[in-house]
Amino acid sequence: MTTNTCDRCEQATQFCGIDDDGDWLHRCPTCSRLVALSPPTLMDYYTAEDIRPATRNELRESLAAAEIDGGAGVIDVAGNPCYVIE
């Protein structure tokens, strides 16, 4: 999993919502800068091909899985092993 960082103060940003365009909003806890990022992508574990934009729930599940599977964040989506990249 990647960590989004503020380009101003280089601190890790925190997810805080989704804007009207579908971009994921992150806020820097240090300087309070708001950054719009493309939504995370759901990826096929075997082929590494993009499947579609990931849902918030898939992102949460992948982050939780990454804590116990050595960092890959593999989750089951409709019977297929997948992971989410930010």
> CA-CA distances (angstroms) from residue 44 to 2, 3, 67?
17, 20, 19
DSSP assigned state of 77? E
Mark whether 30 and 59 lie in a shared domain.
Answer: no
Mark whether 33 and 53 lie in a shared domain.
Answer: no
pLDDT tens, residue by residue, 13-71: 887 777 777 777 888 888 888 887 777 899 999 999 999 999 888 988 998 999 999 88
- Range of 71's domain? 40-86
Mark whether 47 and 62 lie in a shared domain.
Answer: yes
Q: What is the per-residue pLDDT for 3?
A: 65
Mark whether 51 and 86 lie in a shared domain.
Answer: yes
> How many CB atoms neighbour CB 50 within 10 A?
11
> CA-CA distances (angstroms) from residue 43 to 10, 24, 46, 51?
27, 17, 9, 5
